[in-house]
Amino acid sequence: MLHPVPDSTKRRRLLRVVALQRRLILRLCGLTAGAAVDRSWLEGVWHELPPEWIERFWSLDKGKRAEWIKTLAAASPLDKQRLADICREELRFKVLWQSGGGVTMHKVDWAQKTSKTFSAANSLLKSFYAPLLYDGEGYRLGSETLAKSHYLAGITPAARKVCPYCDNFLQKTELDHFLPKDEFPFLSCHPDNLIPSCPDSNSGSHKGIGVPLDWDAADQAANWFHPRWRSAAGCVCVEIQVTPDRQLSARLLPRATADTERVTNSRPRGVTPCRLTPPALR
C-alpha cells in the first residue's frame, strides 16, 4: 500500500462490464421462477452488444455459462431476492473505506449445498473476468475491444513501475483482486478492485486467501489500507536491518498509533529480504 494507484483511462469502459454483470443478474432475479431463458432473451438484456459476441458468451465453457444462467432463472424467489441484495451490497464496497462504517458486508456461502443458485452465480460472475477479460476474448464495446492489457495500458507508466504492495520493481504486471473474487464475485471486473501488482504479491503464498476486512466489526475496513482510497503513503516508515547471515531485512513501522493495526495487517505483502553485496558488509 506504499504507492497510491491511479485510475486507468479505461476505467469507464470497464465499469460498463460491471454494468453488464449487474443488469444480467438483476434481470434474472426479476424473472418468475422457471421462466425460460435462451440466447435471444440475452440479446434483449444486452441489446447494445453485437449478437455474435453474445452468441460466443452463451456458448463458451462448453455450455456451462448457459446452464448457470438457466439455474438462476429457475431459482426460488427467496434466493433471487438474496442474490439481488448481495449485488447491490457488494457494488457499494467503496463506502467501506470512505465513510467509516457506512455499509456492512455480509459473508456469503457461495458453495452452500442446499441451493445451486449461489454457486452458479459465483461461477457466472467470475467468468466475466476469466476468460472474458483476457486478451484472447475481450469485450466488444462499441468500435473497440476491451481486455486486461488495454486496462493496464491505461494506467500511467510511472504507476506501473513499482508494486503498490511490496515496493519492488514491476518487471511483469499482474492484476490482483484486492477483495478476492471468490468471496466478492460482483467485483471480479470492478476497476477499483483490480490492482496492478507484481507476480509475487499476487501469488497465493504471499497474499493468502484472507479477506482484508473485519467481518464482525462495525467499521469493517477501519484496520485496513486500500491501495487507491487509503494508501499507506506518508503513514509508514521503513526500518532496514542487517541479519546475521548478511541479508537485508525491511519492516514497516507506523508513523501514528492510529495506523498500527493497518500496518500490521499489511505485513503479509511486505518486502522480501535480499542478499547484501556491499564490500563493507563482507
Closest CA to 28 of 78, 72, 87, 66: 72
Tell me what pLDDT residue 164 has.
86
**Among candidate residues 143, 120, 139, the one with its CA nearest the CA of residue 61:** 120
Instruction: Identify the bridge partners of residue 246 per DSSP, sorted by sequence position.
Output: none
**Structural contact between residues 58 and 42, judged by C-beta atoms closer than 8 angstroms:** yes
pLDDT of 59: 87
CA distance 130 to 68: 15
Our CA angle for 196, 198, 200, nearest 5°, is: 135
* DSSP conformation letters of 135-159: TTT-EEETTEEE-HHHHHHTS-GGG
Domain boundaries, the chain: 11-207, 236-281
Q: Is 19 helix (H, G, I), strand (E, B) or coil?
A: helix
Q: Are 80 and 28 in contact (CB under 8 A)?
A: yes
Q: Residue 250: what pLDDT?
A: 72
Q: Could you write out the DSSP letters of every residue in 164-184? A: TTT--B-SS-EEEESS-TTT-
- Is the previous residue joined to 6 through a cis bond, with omega within 30 degrees of 0? no
pLDDT along the chain (282 residues), means of 10: 84 97 98 89 96 91 91 95 97 89 89 92 97 93 92 88 83 91 97 92 71 94 92 86 81 88 72 45 42
